[in-house]
Structure formats: structure tokens, C-alpha cells
């Protein structure tokens, strides 16, 4: 997947990052772990290979739906997925705002339920 170099990327799973905007030239591993959140820059309870990018005030996103472990390489102008196997289902979400992108995403994966 390629994109403009000036886009800002968010997402790729639950983690304990202090800065939610992702850094380019970085590999993010999609592998869930039951790890205390006081440790920084490691995976937590879920592996959600979904991202949102902001470019010129508009939002769009993508999700690689795959149950196997994977590495997501966020380059300067492209995203590369490396999976250990499994089926590849790639979704693209286009919306003007992050809220519209998230709505499309939750239409695919489901919405959270309120606790009783």
C-alpha cells in the first residue's frame, strides 16, 4: 500500500505507546501479549492490524484481517505486511473523518457491547 509522505498514520493495535502517531521506517509486530501496560512500546491484549491515515484534513484507513502473526513495516511512503501464513482479507475504509472510517471498520468487525 502506498501513500503520500506527508500523511500521518495511527493504529496497528493496542500498545503502550506514548505518542499515538506512528513513526515511519518502523516495524510493528501484530502479536498479542498479556503484558503489563506500564512497559512502553510493546504489544498488549489485542492485535488489530488496522490503521487510519490523515492527509490534507481527510481520513482513510485499511485493515489486514489475518489470524496469523505479522509484521507491519511502515515506510516513508508505503505499508508492507509480512504474514506467517493464513488467508489475506484486506479492507479499505474511505471517509472524510476518522469517525466515518471507524464506523466502516466496526461495520466489518462488530461494535463493542455495553457491560451489563
pLDDT tens, N- to C-terminus, the chain (116 residues): 788 889 999 888 766 666 677 878 888 777 666 666 566 565 555 567 889 999 999 999 999 888 788 888 889 999 998 988 888 889 999 989 999 999 999 999 888 888 77
Nearest to 61 by CA among 87, 95, 27: 95
Q: What is the model's pLDDT at position 42? A: 59
Q: What is the model's pLDDT at position 46? A: 57
Q: What is the model's pLDDT at position 43? A: 54
All cell numbers assigned to 41: 512500546
Q: What is the model's pLDDT at position 45? A: 56
Residue 38's Cβ-side half-sphere holds a number of Cα atoms within 13 Å equal to 0
Q: What is the model's pLDDT at position 32? A: 63
* Cβ pair 44, 16 in contact under 8 A: yes
Q: What is the model's pLDDT at position 37? A: 58
Amino acid at each position: 500500500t502506498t501513500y503520500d509522505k506527508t500523511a500521518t498514520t495511527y493504529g496497528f493495535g493496542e500498545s503502550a505507546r506514548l505518542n499515538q502517531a506512528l513513526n515511519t521506517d518502523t516495524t510493528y509486530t501484530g502479536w498479542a501479549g498479556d503484558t503489563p501496560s506500564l512497559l512502553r512500546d510493546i504489544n498488549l491484549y489485542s492485535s488489530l492490524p488496522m490503521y487510519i491515515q490523515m492527509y490534507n484534513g481527510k481520513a482513510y484507513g485499511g485493515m489486514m484481517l489475518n489470524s496469523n502473526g505479522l509484521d507491519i513495516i511502515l515506510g516513508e511512503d508505503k505499508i508492507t505486511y509480512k504474514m506467517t501464513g493464513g488467508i489475506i482479507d484486506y479492507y479499505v475504509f474511505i471517509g472524510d473523518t476518522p469517525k466515518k472510517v471507524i464506523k466502516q471498520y466496526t461495520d466489518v468487525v462488530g461494535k463493542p457491547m455495553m457491560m451489563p
